[in-house]
Amino acid sequence: MEFFSNWISHIVLRGRWCNIVVLNVHAPTKEKSDDSKDSFYEELEQVFDHFPKYYMEILIGDFNTKLVTEVIFKRTVGNARLNQDSKGNGVRIANFATSKIIVLKSMMFPHQIIYKYTWNSPDGKTHNHIDHILTERRRHSIILEVRYFRGADSDTDQYLVVANVMETLAASK
C-alpha cells in the first residue's frame, strides 16, 4: 500500500487482463473548510489521472457525503438512495464521478433501509450512508454486490463495507 497523502492511499493488484488500482480515500467532513474539500477533490482527480487508462480503478472509502438521486446525477449515482437531499460534499462527489465517467456502485443495489447505513452517531439516533464504492462506468459490471456488515467487530462508529468483485487476477510466478 502506498500513500499519496493523509487522505488517499492505493494498492495495485496485477490482473490477468489489466491491473487493478484500489484507491482508499477519507474525504474531509462537512465541518472542514471549502478550501480543504476543494483541494481534496483536486488531489483525488490528480491521483485518478495518475494511472494509465487501461488500469481498472476502484475507489473505496469514507467520502463523508450524503447523496440522493437528483435527476442530473441519476446515471452516476443510481436509485438506491437513503437521504432526502444532497449537501455540498454530495454534489462534489457526484460532479467528480460525472467528470471521470465513474459510477457509485454502493448506491446501485437495492437493500432495505436498515442495511444502507454505514455510519451511526455516538448517541445512536443519527444514521447516514457516507461510505461508498465507485468504479469506471465501462467496467461497472465487475462489482456484483455491495453489502454493509453491521455486526462486524470493529472499534469504530462505521460499518464494514464489502463488495463482491469478479475479476481474474494473474498467477504469481
Cβ–Cβ under 8 Å, residues 51 and 21: yes
Which range, of 48-52, 69-73, 86-90, 142-146, averages the lowest pLDDT? 69-73
**Any idea which fold 2-165 has?**
Deoxyribonuclease I; Chain A (3.60.10)
The residue among 110, 113, 119, 120 whose CA lies nearest residue 146 is: 110
**pLDDT confidence of residue 9:** 94
Q: Is the pLDDT of residue 159 over 80?
A: no
Tell me: the pLDDT tens digits for 46-68? 999 999 988 989 998 888 877 65
Calpha distance 168→86 (Å, rounded): 36
**pLDDT confidence of residue 111:** 63
**pLDDT confidence of residue 162:** 72
Q: Name the E strands within 14-105.
A: 20-26, 56-62, 102-104
The residue among 140, 138, 82, 143 whose CA lies nearest residue 107 is: 82
Q: Is the pLDDT of residue 99 over 90?
A: no
Tell me: the pLDDT tens digits for 106-152? 666 666 666 666 666 667 776 666 677 888 888 777 777 777 766 65
Give me the helix-helix angle, 88-100 and 34-50, nearest 10°.
20
Tell me: the pLDDT tens digits for 1-56? 788 888 899 999 887 778 889 999 988 888 889 899 999 999 999 999 999 988 98
Q: Is the pLDDT of residue 165 over 70?
A: yes
The domain limits of the chain are 2-165
**pLDDT confidence of residue 25:** 92
**pLDDT confidence of residue 8:** 94
The residue among 74, 76, 148 whose CA lies nearest residue 111 is: 148
Calpha distance 64→54 (Å, rounded): 29
Most confident of 46-55, 65-74, 79-88: 46-55
